[in-house]
Amino acid sequence: MSLSSKDLLDALRSVTDPVTALPVLPVLKESDLTVTGDAVTIRAEPGYLTDAAGRKALAAQIEAAAKGAGAQQVTLQLNDTIRAHAVQSGLKPIASVKNIIAVASGKGGVGKSTTSANLAIALAQSGARVGILDADIYGPSQPLIMGVSGKPVSNDGKTMEPLRAHGITVNSIGFLIEADSPAIWRGPMVTQALEQLLRQTNWPDLDYLIVDMPPGTGDIALTLAQKVPVVGAIIVTTPQDIALLDARKGLRMFEKMNIPILGVVENMAMHICSNCGHAEAIFGEDGGKRMASELNVPWLGALPLAKSIREQTDSGSPTVASDPDSEAARLYHELAYRVAMGVAALPKDMAGRFPSVVVENLKK
């Protein structure tokens, strides 16, 4: 029986990621296959990065699916390229940044900035080029969390060079003002400051830029959602009802801006006793998971309330960097993995795919 390209495509599109159980190759095309008798060459581009073990497991699944469809010899070419994806209509992407991801919450105090920092470092440890922008002008915390200080230098008097920490590039208003100096600015000044931080920073070629958004859904957060060209948003909440009420508002705000929701993260889901290891749901249980299900958005996972995470954050060395073999670091890596897969599944940016069309008035 001859090898059918259609059967082969169907089999390959059913392959799921070994960690998340999400489809890996839903956009695989017939042109990605070369069939010669019972031998096939498969060119696959998952669109996200994984470690050596994950890559090996994924390759084994793809090969097994192809052989199940009748292939006797399988040659696999996995492309690790991370592509740029579409942003809100009317906004211009940042030339050196492929994908901007907003991390937001309906209210403060739910661990959004800690989640942002660990997510960024986990993505960088997967091999991606990552930056983080602290968009909380009134309460910048990334300089402390990332353990980096100093002021960005400007080599041309117009743009500034971001600082680096834990393998990622960082910029924040906290680098430009004194640590105990309040930013006594009204809304328009705040949004102008953020746009300058975003567009006048010499970001290196980045696969992902994590934007640590200010808390709430007021005028400032709404304006930033309208002006920052993001590919998707992550909502961070705790399980308790009072946090979930505001998290829903934050989620709806992004939906009104036609910004895809990459998923919900439930932070402080369980308190882990540092003495005995006992887990207790202090703030309730599965609230974020239920919200994600009710609103039909992805569930990205739950993170613990642990003394070690707080201590590592306060010391300027987030968990993923300082304790990479811990259970908490594993959870942050799984979160990053799901986020990268979610971005890869979004519509790609087609703005740079087409050449400029010039119409000239040719005189005879």
Helices and strands of the chain, counted as H and E runs: 11, 14
Q: Is 152:161 a contact under the CB 8 Å cutoff?
A: yes
Other C-beta atoms lying within 10 Å of the C-beta of residue 110: 25
**Separation of alpha carbons 137 and 194, rounded Å:** 7
Give 248's contacts (C-beta < 8 A, 6+ positions apart). 106, 291, 295
What the block records as the tokens of 307 is 């003394």
Collapse the DSSP code of 19 into the 3-class scheme (helix H, G, I; strand E, B; otherwise coil) and give the result: coil
Q: Name the binding residues for ATP.
A: 106-113
| Exposure on the CB side of residue 12, measured as CA atoms within 13 A | 30
Amino acid identity for residue 258 in this structure: N
Amino acid identity for residue 230 in this structure: V
Q: Name the binding residues.
A: 106-113
**Separation of alpha carbons 164 and 132, rounded Å:** 10
